Amino acid sequence: MSVPLLEVEGLTVTFPTARGPVDVVRGISFSLGRERLGIVGESGSGKSMTGRSILRLIRPPGHVSAGRLVFDGIDLLALSERRMRALRGARISMVMQDPKFSLNPVMTVGEQIAEALLTHAKLPRRALKARVLSMLEAVRINDPERVAGLYPHEVSGGMGQRVMIAMMLIPEPDLLIADEPTSALDVSVQAQVLDIIDDLVTGKGMGLILISHDLNLVARYCDRILVMNGGEIVEECRASELHLARHPYTRGLLAAMPRMDEDRDVLPVLDRGAWTTGAGT
């Protein structure tokens, strides 16, 4: 934590609408070392936009501004699009939500993973193939040789997501942003995929930003948690101390979740008037 990997200060993302510009992220600040940070919030809280703006993936007319957006000493806002492209994938990469829509349907799994590596490094074909197969093995795919030759529609959702993780981790980035990496997956597969991410991230000493709407899941896999609501960070706490959360929104979210040993007759519902988040979005 001595030199942060990523520093964000006053990050704001704005979209123009018919009723004037709307800030979907309102001047948030945080820093990240080589640790696992969770960002939690409901739909529309700005959590995905935060992740995307770090990679400068917000398309016009969306606009990103920040006091500071520094990754490992590099000012991301000042980089040219060309230098930014060199950075994406190689040093910061992102796992998307749904493997069905994020993988190229007309390329085999092996080709796609190799492409991710070739974009940033020149390698002889044999070494390339070996790297791809060992990466597939690292994400616990049993028969890498066979799977590398399959097309995305021939693999299951869980396997597709592991392929995507392999693709994102093969250039050995320093920071991985995972945006709802398991929400398209079954509960039983979710844990496997997160365990793989966790192993690889801690094994290589990378930084991880895990974006999710699931408080318990984030608490299980992260060191620190940011809770977002209405484009602002309403609470920051250590994952182990989540149950001590003080903000009414966080407490409301925790209480609204049914428990395994549920005996309440009615679930408490969020009273959105209990806190203020500026103008509604």
* Closest distance of CB 160 from other proteins, Å: 13
The total of other beta-carbon atoms located within 10 Å of residue 123's CB is 13
Chain centre to alpha carbon of residue 253: 20
Residue 205 vs 258, nearer CB to other proteins: 258
- State the Cα–Cα distance between residues 232 and 239, nearest whole angstrom: 19
* Closest distance of CB 241 from other proteins, Å: 18
* Closest distance of CB 260 from other proteins, Å: 5
Among left, alpha and beta (phi > 0; psi -120 to 50; other), residue 263 is alpha
Residue 115 vs 214, nearer CB to other proteins: 214
At 245, is the secondary structure helix, strand, or coil? coil
Residue 144 vs 252, nearer CB to other proteins: 252
Binding positions for other proteins, rule: CB under 8 A: 42-43, 157, 186-191, 213-216, 220, 252-253, 256-270
* Closest distance of CB 155 from other proteins, Å: 13
Sign of CA pseudo-dihedral 53, 220, 198, 138: negative
- 225 in Cβ contact with 237 (< 8 Å): yes
Residue with tokens 């492409």: 115
* Closest distance of CB 41 from other proteins, Å: 9
* Closest distance of CB 137 from other proteins, Å: 23
- State the Cα–Cα distance between residues 28 and 50, nearest whole angstrom: 9
**Tokens representing 180?**
């709802």
Cα angle value 58/64/67 (rounded, 5°)? 145
- State the Cα–Cα distance between residues 144 and 3, nearest whole angstrom: 38
Residue 1 vs 260, nearer CB to other proteins: 260
Residue with tokens 């069905």: 100
Residue 119 vs 183, nearer CB to other proteins: 183
Q: How much of the chain is in helix, strand and coil states, percent to nearest 5?
A: 40, 25, 40
Residue 14 vs 212, nearer CB to other proteins: 212
Bridge partners (DSSP) listed for residue 15: 22
> 14-26 b/e with 16+ CB inside 10 Å = b?
beeeeeeeebbbb
* Closest distance of CB 183 from other proteins, Å: 9
* Closest distance of CB 229 from other proteins, Å: 10
Residue 42 vs 241, nearer CB to other proteins: 42
Residue 81 vs 265, nearer CB to other proteins: 265
